[in-house]
Structure 1
């Protein structure tokens, strides 16, 4: 890795690190010099991400867990602290949705699972790292919410919309309560990103539209930039979307209209 390593010596814990935004962020932070600890439910995917990072000269460990398991998250945080010291950067990227997500179809078990992963799972990870960050008098929490955390979209469904709105409130609460301890929180709200979660929609985007969405690396670049900011600066939230934003474009409008010739 030849890029500037402004995060040298930092310990970055990335949940949801086996794919999508989490995996791209783990690579980006490792490229900047951080030691990435990637967590998620699929050990094979975590191993693949860590191997890619090491192959590029970076440092990475894997720590499989289900963020919905409060005890497992607490144990993971303690294990990281015992092995590496306090976590400097937490990127809470784990998130799920279900195909049958409208009120007419959403069952209570699916609701509970979405809330457990998307909202409670973030709180569990935050709770695991806060004591060490308070002791250090420094720390950054990056919470990956969603466009629907700022602008409710029918397509997201009530459980996804509610949890992603909740994450925005959680991030602001962190800044209100922990800024005096040197802890900063940033809530990132991406619009549509070409990740595996889109395949779980009842009607996934067609390939020609999928190619025009954000790439996970686009969001990872934003997160890296936040992580490289000086400790005196808090980026409270970021709203990022594809330039070709399907929330603003009428169905069937497949391409931008050509620019009008100058007269």
Structure 2
């Protein structure tokens, strides 16, 4: 599905990013993977190469403009261009009621989830225009877009902002052949989600599962399949969409 495409995947050292980078490579993409943890990135690159794929890693902080610029430059210099960007990196950040949330915690969460998305797109769009078009995908969340959880104000605001950014990019660059979409996962079976369930002080797996109509967590590979669809030509007439892949968490009230 992605033969001869060049893709960037951020937050690729674990979870959804890891599964997506691996899947994109299996589907023929040449992948630039990014995250803060170099050891895990190198292991991912090794795994992709052993399976016959092509990948290169660049460790860094998605909040850093120079890192965002360098990722695109690496894709162009190493693989010849950029067709796909999955801006997946993010974090729940500091969780507290609004009066108790620190200003530093607010800013860090906004930067990690929203400013990073802006920085990615800022440099990805021109590179895609050079190729005649491309597909940008962001990881947002049902939190802030369909429901609100106490203590998640910064995260909710950031993830709602990601959807707004997605829609504006789709409108601004559709005529240039660029599609922009967002994916809104539900609870996914990763260590981070186990520890940071909204409204669950103990972060129990049972609590998180119970929020979903399907009464289970997603596997990262399930979210990756939806990401693959949105970045591929299978969704060539889809842009400006915020796709819920949430196991019914946004509609479940039991």
Rg comparison, structure with higher value? 1
In 2, distance between residues paired with 1:206 and 1:72? 35
In 1, distance between residues paired with 2:32 and 2:163? 24
Say whether 1:218 aligns with 2:217: no
Match of 2:204 in 1: 205
From the superposition, tell whether residues 161 and 209 of structure 1 become closer, same or farther in structure 2 (CA, over 3 Å).
closer
The match for 2:245 among 226, 234, 240 is 240
Say whether 1:36 aligns with 2:22: no
* Cα drift, residue 85 of structure 1: 2.1
* Cα drift, residue 152 of structure 1: 2.9
Relative to structure 2, which stretch is displaced further, 121-130 or 191-200? 191-200
* Cα drift, residue 242 of structure 1: 1.8
Match of 2:89 in 1: 94
The match for 1:57 among 52, 59, 63 is 52
1:58-207 alignment runs, 5 A limit: 58-98=53-93, 100-155=95-150, 157-198=152-193, 199-201=195-197, 202-206=201-205
C-alpha root-mean-square deviation of aligned residues, in Å? 2.0
Match of 1:260 in 2: none
Question: Any gaps of 5 or more consecutive residues in structure 2?
Answer: 210-214
Mapped contact 1:18–1:45 kept (Cα < 8 A): yes
Mapped contact 2:87–2:138 kept (Cα < 8 A): yes
Partner of 1:148, secondary structure, is coil
- Structure-2-length-normalised TM-score: 0.88
Aligned length: 244
Relative to structure 2, which stretch is displaced further, 230-239 or 179-188? 230-239
Match of 1:229 in 2: 233
* Cα drift, residue 249 of structure 1: 4.2
From the superposition, tell whether residues 209 and 234 of structure 1 become closer, same or farther in structure 2 (CA, over 3 Å).
closer
